[in-house]
């Protein structure tokens, strides 16, 4: 059984059809900021992307060259693998209806090639509510598929809470966890990280949390989500990039920590004909100082919004400045409401 409250379940369809701006944007940070002046001599660039799924795609996306070039500047790309990677889904009916996620290894490889993400520079979280949609065998197949592709994974209970990645002189710690599950607790236990207490996490130059949290299709995080972000920041987490809301959410500064509450979808995780606010995603680019005196400090960040346009059996990833007509005005208006 899932662990969603009844009120959450009842609000899913209305909020999917009309994502909410309720909650207000007071206290949040701008879309971009430079935090160290003058800029450090050496930096490491992290790029965080949203949920990756094949639910809304039968073939690989078409990616605007500007998005591909942006991702190519990153030393490491971190995202969420929202669909189990399996050759043949075991939950056949649910997969056809879209309630159970699945994508093939071939689709994932072709999608990554289309957007220009090198496998050796990619880290994918498996700590999400859909990771056991194809059962335990599908979970095991997913872990094995990512290993075959040479993609690092985080959020596996067996690997411990934090995975350390060496990037030049920096040790970056990545910790993924999910607050939500679509299957029984005993299936998640021992397989998927659901621990959100960073008190005992190892210390590194920069500790990054990748949580699957908050409620879906709401542009502003709930009070409990914001409280958890503050607790993590107080426990030494310097950077948080969240998933699960499937819409773009704001950025917040908590002391020296930076929180990007939700990056939306990188590839569509819901129906192919999704309402336009749910088609806005973000690539959160963070430059981290590698200089001796400020090592591990966030030097600058910027959210790069884009839109997933429908094109036949796949999606087309387009930066906001590449949009035409009424859709651009609507997207810019929504972004203006999210980011001060």
| Token pair for 242 | 């969240």
- Provide the pLDDT for residue 95: 85
Angle at 323 between CA 18 and CA 64, to 5 degrees: 110
pLDDT tens string 51-65: 999 998 999 999 999
Q: What percent of the chain has pLDDT over 90?
A: 91
Decide if 165 is inside a domain.
yes
Distance CA 210, CA 194 (A): 11
Residue 12, domain member (yes or no): no
DSSP string for residues in 288-331: EE-SGGGTT-EEEEEEEEEEEEEETTEEEEEEGGG--HHHHHHH
Helices of type H across the chain? 6-17, 65-72, 92-97, 105-115, 135-149, 185-188, 223-234, 325-338
- pTM greater than 0.95 (yes/no): yes
Tell me what the mean pLDDT of segment 191-216 comes to: 95
Distance, C-alpha 132 to centroid of its chain: 18
- Residue 258 placed within a domain: yes
Residue 99, domain member (yes or no): yes
* pLDDT, mean over the chain: 95
Q: Do 19 and 265 contact (CB within 8 A), yes or no?
A: no
Residue 173 in any domain: the answer is: yes
What percentage of the chain has pLDDT greater than the value 70?
Answer: 100
Tokens of 66: 């500007």
Encode 146-185: b = buried (16+ Cβ within 10 Å), e = exposed: beebebbbbbbbeeebbbebebeebbbbbbbbbbbbbbee
For 242-296, write each residue's pLDDT tens digit: 999 999 999 999 999 999 999 999 999 887 789 999 999 999 999 999 999 999 9
Comparing C-alpha atoms, which of 118, 101, 130, 204 is closest to residue 160?
Answer: 204
Residue bearing the bigger pLDDT, 1 or 263: 263
Per-residue pLDDT at 168 exceeds 80: yes
Count other C-beta atoms under 10 Å from residue 144's C-beta.
12
Which CATH number belongs to the domain containing residue 222 in this structure?
A: 3.60.21.10
Give me the number of domains the chain comprises: 1
Taking every pair of C-alpha atoms in the chain, what is the biggest distance, in angstroms? 57
Identify whether 188 is part of a domain.
yes
Using pLDDT thresholds of 50, 70 and 90, give the confidence band for residue 1: confident
Q: Is residue 3 part of a domain?
A: no
Q: Which residues neighbour 337 within 8 Å (Cβ) at sequence distance 6 or greater?
A: 21, 25, 219
CA angle, residues 119, 121, 126, in degrees to nearest 5? 75
The confidence score (pLDDT) of residue 260 equals 98
| 152, part of any domain | yes
For 302, the domain range is 33-338
Q: Is the pLDDT assigned to residue 98 strictly greater than 90?
A: no
Residue 182: half-sphere exposure toward Cβ, Cα within 13 Å: 19
The pLDDT tens digits of the residues spanning 66-76 come to: 999 999 999 99
């Amino acid at each position: 059984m899932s662990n969603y409250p009844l009120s959450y379940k009842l609000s899913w369809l209305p909020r999917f059809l009309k994502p909410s701006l309720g909650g207000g944007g007071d206290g949040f940070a701008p879309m971009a900021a430079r935090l160290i002046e003058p800029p450090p001599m050496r930096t490491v660039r992290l790029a965080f992307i949203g949920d990756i799924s094949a639910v809304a795609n039968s073939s690989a996306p078409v990616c605007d060259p500007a998005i591909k070039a942006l991702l190519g500047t990153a030393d490491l790309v971190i995202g969420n693998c929202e669909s189990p990677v399996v050759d043949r889904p075991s939950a056949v009916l649910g997969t056809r209806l879209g309630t159970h996620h699945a994508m093939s290894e071939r689709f994932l490889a072709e999608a990554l090639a289309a957007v220009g993400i090198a496998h050796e520079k990619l880290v994918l979280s498996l700590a999400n509510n859909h990771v056991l949609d194809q059962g335990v065998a599908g979970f095991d197949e997913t872990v094995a598929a990512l290993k075959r592709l040479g993609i690092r994974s985080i959020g596996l209970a067996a690997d411990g809470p934090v995975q350390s990645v060496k990037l030049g002189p920096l040790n970056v710690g990545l910790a993924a966890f999910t607050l939500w599950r679509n299957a029984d607790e005993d299936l998640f236990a021992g397989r998927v990280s659901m621990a959100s207490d960073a008190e005992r996490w190892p210390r590194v130059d920069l500790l990054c949390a990748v949580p699957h949290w908050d409620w879906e299709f709401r542009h502003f995080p709930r009070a409990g989500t914001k409280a958890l972000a503050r607790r993590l920041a107080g426990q030494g987490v310097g950077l948080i990039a969240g998933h699960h809301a499937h819409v773009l959410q704001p950025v917040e500064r908590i002391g020296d920590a930076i929180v990007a509450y939700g990056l939306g979808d990188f590839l569509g995780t819901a129906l192919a004909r999704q309402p336009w606010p749910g088609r806005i995603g973000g690539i959160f680019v963070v430059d981290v100082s590698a200089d001796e005196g400020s090592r591990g400090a966030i030097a600058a960040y910027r959210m790069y919004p884009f839109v997933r346009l429908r094109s036949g059996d796949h999606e087309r990833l387009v930066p906001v400045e590449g949009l035409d007509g009424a859709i651009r005005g609507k997207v810019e208006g929504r972004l203006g409401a999210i980011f001060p």
